[in-house]
Amino acid sequence: MEITELIRHDIFDLFENGCIEQIYFGSDKKYFYPYYGRLKEIDFLKRIYPLENMVTTDERFNNVDEEMW
């Protein structure tokens, strides 16, 4: 199944802006969906980047993985 360019933009907008649930007799609710889904953010980033091999500019750490922890 191919994800069209239009759907990609919709998904990006959802992650960036969230969505609003319209409630007719009350305040609207805004929901946000984190880009890392159900994972912890650091676990998500470790799946897509080799953080342990990336150089950090912070001299207190040996790599980006240590810096982000």
At 62 the pLDDT is 96
Domain around 25: 1-33
Please tell me the total count of domains within the chain.
Answer: 2
Sign of the four-CA dihedral 48, 49, 52, 56 = negative
25 and 43 assigned to the same domain: no
- State the pLDDT at residue 68: 87
Residues 14 and 37: beta-carbon distance below 8 Å: no
Please indicate, yes or no, whether residues 19 and 48 belong to a single structural domain of this protein: no
Tell me: do 54 and 68 sit in the same domain. yes
pLDDT digit string, tens, across residues 7-38: 999 999 998 999 999 888 888 999 988 989 89
pLDDT at site 4? 96
28 and 40: one domain? no
